[in-house]
Structure 1
Amino acid sequence: MRSALLETDWNEEWMALQAQRPAPDDPARWDARARHFRPRETHPYARDFIELAAIGAGESVLDMGCGAGSLAIPLARAGHRVIAADFSARMLEVLEEGARDAGVPDLVRALPLAWDDDWEAAGLGPGCVDVALASRSIATSDLRAALSRLTRVARRRCCITLSADAGPRVDGRILRAIGARVAHRGDYVYAFNILVGMGLAPEVRYISSMRRDTFRSADDAVAELSRMLAGGNEDRIGALRAYVDGHLVANPDAGAPGEKGGPQGPFMLDRERVVRWAFLSWDAAGSPDM
């Protein structure tokens, strides 16, 4: 008798899950947000990712879904040649500005590319880089195809991060405090099982990322945080407002650049939000499925 776990088509399950979620962001939305994402220093999350990626000296890298360069720029500073790919033209412009300011423009190649594009037509042939990365950037309904593309272009190693909890915009502690249901997404479980089905041997580590959300007012905080209530918790809006009233404090760094570059609001919650990411890595060399 075979286990249901082994019989499950995990990519089909992923596709069904994605069909229930809001449509992925389009390039225009990220173009509009790009100016707020200029990395001014290497964020602790990026440092943890790079440490776990264990990229060898002089190895070349694909940073898929690179954004404004939170990984690509520090990797270039460390001497790696980086193909930085993203579907947002404005993000790539901000990335190139950052690479020039960091003195590494010759080590960073910006490449307009989406997950579902023809990667080979874009110049990403088999084994074109040593290491392929996708940090918090896999946005596609066909997860198996995305993982296959990463594996195909890498000569040695692939590394990705996916949500390990309820999602990057959800604060489980707040939901539990107001008596709301916490639905754990665990996106990485799908990727792990798909990779195993591809004949690969993924390893899993975890990165805890601290975030400090700021707001213009109490009403703004309630409006922003109420997005967490979608999907069955809408009746907890009154409890959420009471929570905000009890935990909103003045932000001593109001107006200073925030984590994503934009100015911080005058108010914040009295504790940071913890986002947990699953870091999956696997050996791409000699993959039986490529």
Structure 2
Amino acid sequence: MFLEPIDFASMYREHKATTDFKGKTNTDWDEKSKDMAASVINSPYVNDFISHMKLTGDEVVLDIGCGPGTLAVPLAKLVKEVIAIDFSAQMLEELKAYAAREGVTNIKTYHIGWEDDWSHLPPIDIVVASRSMEVSDIDAALAKMSGHASKACYLTYKVGGSFVDMNILDYIGKKVKTKPDYWYIPILLYSKGYLPRVDYIETGRGSVRAGNEEEFVESLIWSVHELNDEQKVKAREYYRDVIVGQNHPPRAVNWAFISWECAQ
């Protein structure tokens, strides 16, 4: 593929280990579950994701990092069964409540994550990982997805190396080491003999919430883990002068939609 071999799997692991954008714990997501459920359910992103999938209606779908059922519940209306897994117990409770409201009964939930044993899961046709690929070893995660899918895999991964608009970080003086970008994924899949397809989902909204000044600052802290007092002052200034004063909301997030066939 290249003049000299390049170990992209190791490169990703090293890059991921140094980034300031660290993965959240199950406790973090437990606390975020109710707020997240309200903000992501029935979003345009869901229709965009599902529209990129090839479905016949008789599939069993594994949803990794299912969250509050953002994809699991709409997918369950289109397929035979959804197996929904998440390492946040509270996210699974939100999913069950959402499914009950929608009258959906063909979802099975498992309180497990990427690092757990999946051998007890039933046979799977399609595996999806929607905005849940913040793993330390992307090569192992992709292998795990491919190994459990008899037909195809679909995932989304953030475009760009920051969950926060870099204009905001530059303004408040927050220096960050960016995270790995999505191009590791198609390269690693191609090296394993797959022919991945890459498309994009444009959300039209930023990952940092900016409904009001407090929400903006709290959302920034959630994304970058911490801000010092001076950075908090600058963040409030940015909200007032740029977001409100110039009517310039945070830059919209785009997601790479990556798919590959796994015929066995």
TM-score range, shorter chain: 0.7 to 0.9
Answer yes or no: is the 8 Å Cα contact 1:214–1:269 preserved in 2. no
Is 2:41 the counterpart of 1:26? no
Q: Distance in 2 between matches of 1:189 and 1:236?
A: 31
Segments of 5+ residues of structure 1 without an aligned counterpart are 251-267
Provide the residue aligned with 1:275 in structure 2.
Answer: 253
Is contact 1:178-1:236 (8 Å) kept?
A: yes
With structure 1 as the length reference, what TM-score do the two structures score? 0.76
Kindly provide the amino acid, as one letter, of the partner of residue 42 in structure 2: T
- Report SS of the residue matched to 1:83: strand
SS of 2:145's equivalent?
helix
Counterpart AA for 1:37: M
Identical columns (%): 33
Q: Deviations over 1:153-176 (max 9, x none)?
A: 111110111111233x31145457
Is this contact kept in 1: 2:213–2:240, CA < 8 A? Answer: no
Residues 160-199 of structure 1 aligned to structure 2 (within 5 Å) = 160-167=155-162, 169-174=163-168, 185=179, 187-199=181-193
Task: Tell me by how many angstroms 1:21 deviates.
Answer: 2.6
**Deviation, structure 1 residue 283:** 0.6
Equivalent position amino acid for 1:145 in 2: A
Contact 2:15 2:180 in 1 (8 A): no
Relative to 1, partners in 2 of residues 1:196 and 1:2: Cα closer, same or farther, differing over 3 Å?
closer
**How many Å apart are 1:123 and its aligned residue?**
2.2
With over 3 angstroms needed to count, the CA separation of the structure-2 counterparts of 1:185 and 1:269, relative to structure 1, is: farther
Alignment correspondent of 2:114: 115
- Secondary structure of 2:118 counterpart: coil
Residue of structure 2 in register with 1:260 after alignment: none
- Say yes or no: does 1:151 pair with 2:146: yes
For the Cα contact (< 8 Å) 2:12–2:180, is it kept in 1?
no
State the one-letter code of the partner of 1:273. Answer: R
Residue 188 of structure 1: SS of its match in structure 2?
Answer: coil
Measure the CA separation in 1 of the matches of 2:235 and 2:94: 36
- Determine which structure has the larger strand proportion and give its number: 1
How far off is 1:77 after superposition?
Answer: 2.2
Deviation at 1:227, TM superposition (A): 8.0
Preserved CA contact (<8 Å) 1:73 1:99: yes
1:67–1:86 contact (8 Å) kept in structure 2: yes
Q: CA RMSD in A?
A: 3.3
Aligned length: 257
Name the SS of the counterpart of 1:214 in structure 2: coil
CA distance in 2, matches of 1:145, 1:89: 24
Residue of structure 1 equivalent to 2:65: 65
The structure number with the bigger radius of gyration is 1
Letter of the structure 2 residue corresponding to residue 96 of structure 1: K
1:135 paired residue number: 130
1:208 aligned partner: 202
Q: Which residues of structure 2 form unaligned runs of 5+?
A: none
